[in-house]
Structure 1
Amino acid sequence: MTSRKPIKKAVFPVAGLGTRFLPATKAIPKEMLAIVDRPLIQYAVDEAREAGIEQMIFVTGRGKTAIVEHFDMAFELETTMGERGKDMAVLEPTRATPGDIITVRQQVPLGLGHAIWCARAIVGDEPFAIFLPDELMIAHKGSTGCMKQMVDAYDEVGGNLISVLEVPHEEVSSYGVIDPGAQVSAALTEVKGLVEKPPVAEAPSNKIISGRYILQPEVMRVLEAQEKGAGGEIQLTDAMAKMIGNQPFHAVTFDGKRYDCGSKTGFVEATLALALEREDIGAEVRAMAERLLAD
């Protein structure tokens, strides 16, 4: 197996305003909205840690300090809990090792590609992961998280990778999809192109692009041209498309479920689905849902 630089850095673009969840997000970042009892950003960071990623790069904007504070020490809280004999294990995932969390500012909302480019100095010449936290990726039982599945594939083929999911063909016009090439394995497909929201009759596949990426640092050279695409914004998809043919590019079909927590219905679905799976509250939630549906 060819030696490759390991994936140790991840970029989290979290500068968005979250206007679809107003007024809840007027003072709270959308990434801090909780699915049951963990904020969305925590799910993403936990997934990154499982994949062996050590450095989390948050691309933030004004009003996003709560994200960083979530991973800081809460002296007053922990002191009080300790004095009362409370179990503090629940706080373990929220404690970052010094130096593991780095923030950069995206002062102007110029698109996802621009947000990623803002992290260029920290990424340097290393391959890196990208997480879109409002796309909650939950693995099926017995499987590892989405990014761990992608890192395992990266160790096999290198280059650039994106996570994909199969949807009913009639739904493809709502998503970006891949133009597939050779099938490397059951879960790994060569990518020949990326098509944004194609008409159903013209879609090259039903494999939609979901919110996880592993990219080579050369993508930053493409993004620095600051070329604007759809919506007048600097699009990450456009930059990735230019990498195809120059470097290996593959899609990993995620063995799990994606919840679009950028929409209200997706957020509610994720909350209910994850609550039902919990050993501590699952039975009560199921009984509650049955009562509500019976009314």
Structure 2
Amino acid sequence: MQTVRKAVFPVGGMGTRFLPATKASPKEMMPIVDKPLIQYAVEEAIAAGCDQLIFITGRGKWAITDHFDVSYELEMELKQRGKLQLLEMVHSILPDHVSAVFIRQPRPLGLGHAVHCARSVIGGEPFAVLLASNLMMAPEPVLAQMMTQYERFNTAILGVQEVPPAVTTQYGVVEGRPCDHHLYQVTGIVEKPKAEDAPSNLAVMGRYILPARIFDHLEQIPKGAEGEIQLTDAIARLLDEQQVLAYRFQGKRFDCDYKLGYLKATIEFAVQHRDVGHGFADYLHDLCASGRFANPLESVEQEEELVED
């Protein structure tokens, strides 16, 4: 069995839901407290054992490249000022044993097209795909959970969670039958179905472990939903050849493609932050006690996709 060492990060999207903030700055560089979204995804991949990172970028994404590059001037300044803790923090953004490759996606033709752009670097190896806008909070990194299942079954793994039927139009939705604890044998998958057409409420949440064979299908499939090359359509073809499993991972997922999801993530990560967590939690408590606002830590049952079109 081949070990999964390579992780693909499709980061070429325009982030139009966050305009004007994303006019000149990539959505993936928006901070959750003190780290950008993309860094959380990279840390998750590294924690799961990946040491080769492939970023599929687009126009205006140079800030992502710079973030993972060496900043000699900054490091020299921190060293001269004796700020060694900050210097170590900057060094740890991309550990020495991890390499990064940046590939320009020439046209925004969908997630499937972005993943296919990584073919020359992936070769014949299995690989992971992580969507940085799907931010995870879990006791064990979500991709590490999926790696455990991959090591058991040596097959494609899709990270899924249950969603309300009304929001299936935002996701790839799987049809499957339970086969083990938190695992489903996938028998079908469809991109963004209407609630009445959805085969289930198990939606893929931006985490995949895929075989290199998926590239052949990505080359052959026609444009699908929204005129894009859909990764979901290639996975549907893969089902005709080999087993695909869906894993209902443990943890909380924040959809940072939307403002409400991003704000929820900011609050929940802030109250757990080692430096500001206690102070921020006290502030929120006082804010609620003042009676000016409803408790911002209460769960919002309505999905952000229903609030923001």
**Smaller-chain TM-score bracket:** over 0.9
Output the TM-score relative to the length of structure 2. Answer: 0.88
| Cα distance change, pair 29–229 in 1 and its aligned pair in 2 (3 A) | same
CA contact (8 A) 1:111 1:235 kept: yes
Residues 1:131 and 2:127 are matched in the alignment:
no
**Bigger shift: 26-35 or 80-89?**
80-89
- The whole-number CA distance in structure 2 between the counterparts of 1:171 and 1:98 is 40
Output the TM-score relative to the length of structure 1. Answer: 0.92
CA contact (8 A) 2:157 2:208 kept: yes
State the Cα deviation string for residues 184-226 of structure 1 (Å, max 9, x = none): 3212211111133444455432221100001111110011125
Residues 1:151 and 2:147 are matched in the alignment:
yes
Q: Quick one: which amino acid aligns to residue 182 of structure 2?
A: A
User: SS of 2:90's equivalent?
Assistant: helix
Could you tell me the percent identity over the aligned residues?
45
User: SS of 1:224's equivalent?
Assistant: helix
- The whole-number CA distance in structure 2 between the counterparts of 1:134 and 1:171 is 17
Matches within 5 A, 1:60-99: 60-86=57-83, 87=85, 88-97=87-96
- The whole-number CA distance in structure 2 between the counterparts of 1:195 and 1:99 is 35
| RMSD, aligned α-carbons | 1.7
- The whole-number CA distance in structure 2 between the counterparts of 1:92 and 1:127 is 28
Q: Quick one: which amino acid aligns to residue 247 of structure 1?
A: Q
| Cα distance change, pair 100–51 in 1 and its aligned pair in 2 (3 A) | same
State the Cα deviation string for residues 131-176 of structure 1 (Å, max 9, x = none): 111111111xxx3101101111000111211100123455545433
Q: Which runs of 5+ in 1 are unaligned?
A: none
Residues 1:103 and 2:102 are matched in the alignment:
yes
CA contact (8 A) 1:42 1:94 kept: yes
- CA apart distance, 1:39: 0.4
User: Match for residue 39 of structure 1?
Assistant: 36
User: Match for residue 115 of structure 1?
Assistant: 114
CA contact (8 A) 1:161 1:251 kept: yes
Residues 1:53 and 2:58 are matched in the alignment:
no
- CA apart distance, 1:27: 1.4
CA contact (8 A) 1:11 1:116 kept: yes
User: SS of 2:253's equivalent?
Assistant: strand
- CA apart distance, 1:82: 1.4
User: Match for residue 306 of structure 2?
Assistant: none
- CA apart distance, 1:256: 0.3
- Residue in structure 2 matching 1:23, options 20, 25, 28: 20
Matches within 5 A, 1:1-295: 4-86=1-83, 87=85, 88-97=87-96, 100-139=99-138, 143-169=139-165, 171-181=167-177, 183-225=178-220, 227-293=222-288, 294-295=291-292
- The whole-number CA distance in structure 1 between the counterparts of 2:126 and 2:12 is 22
CA contact (8 A) 2:191 2:225 kept: no
| Cα distance change, pair 227–200 in 1 and its aligned pair in 2 (3 A) | closer
**Bigger shift: 65-74 or 51-60?**
65-74
**Bigger shift: 35-44 or 170-179?**
170-179
